[in-house]
């Protein structure tokens, strides 16, 4: 019966119930909030592997012609351009981060005695630092640190390398086995994520009941 109700309806109902229970029960309901934290931790646990095997499976199994690859490249370029323009618009119009300068001007400092605006400027990212963060030091590091960008880059590079190795006759059988394993892992990870998503309404209830 519950499975027939759309997930968004379940989440809305859980949110309303969580707020109501929180107002009635007060601080005594606080321990139930750990359920939401555990669910978020489980999602984070599977998110990285899911992205990795999804990209790897797509690169290994998708048959791309030069024409379709060119269209895909144009789509990515347009998407990236739109993202940059939106980011520049938001940064120019809304100027996020200016409030930190206000903290510094008002004399508010952190416990260490450092002006927040100065600390923010000192931690500003440079192009060199961004490029270093994009390229992980090892294949395992992105999965260990749950770096989504690093995971995507490693999966893409590995997939392209395996596609290239598939052109070598003696490596074709091995690449085929890896492709089958990646596809099986993708289906297994998707199934595990679907089990976790079923409990999202309960997590919403638990978090809002705090």
Residue 154's CB is within 10 A of a number of other CB atoms, namely: 22
Which carries the bigger pLDDT value, residue 110 or residue 155?
Answer: 155
- pLDDT value, residue 121: 52
Give, in order, the Cα–Cα distances in Å from 50 to each of 19, 36, 40, 153, 189.
Answer: 32, 21, 15, 14, 6
* Residues 104-113, mean pLDDT to the nearest whole number: 49
| Residue with the two structure tokens 């002006």 | 115
Tell which residue, 40, 5, 10, 6, has the closest CA to residue 201. 10
- Name the percent of the chain lying above pLDDT 70: 77
- pLDDT value, residue 143: 83
- pLDDT value, residue 185: 95
Check: pTM over 0.75? Answer yes or no: no
CA 16/CA 114 separation, integer angstroms:
42
* pLDDT category of residue 173 using cuts at 50, 70 and 90: very high
Lowest mean pLDDT among 124-128, 149-153, 205-209: 124-128
Reply yes or no on whether the pLDDT at 111 is more than 70. no
* Residues 34-45, mean pLDDT to the nearest whole number: 82
Residue 152: partners with Cβ closer than 8 Å, 6 or more residues away:
51, 55
Token reading at 13: 């109902």
- pLDDT value, residue 148: 84
Tell which residue, 162, 148, 192, has the closest CA to residue 57. 162
Q: Which of 4-8, 52-56, 91-95 has the highest mean pLDDT?
A: 52-56
Q: How confident is the prediction for the chain on average, in pLDDT?
A: 78
* pLDDT category of residue 177 using cuts at 50, 70 and 90: very high
* pLDDT category of residue 190 using cuts at 50, 70 and 90: very high
Q: How far from the centroid of its chain's Cα atoms is residue 145's Cα? A: 12
CA 53/CA 173 separation, integer angstroms:
19
Q: Which of 72-86, 116-130, 148-162 has the highest mean pLDDT?
A: 148-162
Reply yes or no on whether the pLDDT at 107 is more than 70. no
* pLDDT category of residue 97 using cuts at 50, 70 and 90: low
Tell which residue, 172, 153, 154, 152, has the closest CA to residue 164. 172
- Name the percent of the chain lying above pLDDT 90: 19
């Amino acid at each position: 019966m519950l499975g027939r109700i759309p997930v968004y309806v379940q989440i809305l109902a859980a949110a309303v119930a969580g707020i109501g229970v929180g107002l009635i029960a007060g601080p005594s309901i606080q321990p139930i909030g750990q359920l939401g934290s555990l669910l978020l931790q489980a999602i984070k646990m599977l998110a990285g592997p899911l992205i990795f095997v999804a990209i790897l499976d797509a690169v290994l199994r998708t048959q791309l012609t030069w024409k379709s690859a060119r269209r895909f490249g144009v789509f990515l370029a347009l998407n990236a351009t739109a993202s940059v323009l939106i980011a520049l618009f938001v940064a120019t119009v809304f100027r996020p981060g200016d409030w930190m300068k206000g903290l510094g001007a008002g004399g508010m400092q952190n416990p260490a005695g450092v002006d927040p605006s100065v600390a923010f400027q000192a931690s500003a990212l440079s192009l060199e630092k961004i490029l270093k963060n994009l390229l992980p030091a090892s294949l395992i590091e992105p999965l260990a640190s749950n770096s989504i960008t690093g995971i995507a880059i490693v999966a893409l590079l590995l997939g392209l390398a395996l596609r290239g190795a598939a052109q070598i006759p003696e490596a074709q059988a091995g690449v085929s086995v890896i492709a089958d394993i990646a596809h099986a892992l993708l289906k297994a990870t998707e199934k595990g994520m679907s089990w976790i998503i079923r409990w999202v309404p309960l997590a919403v209830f638990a978090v809002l009941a705090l």
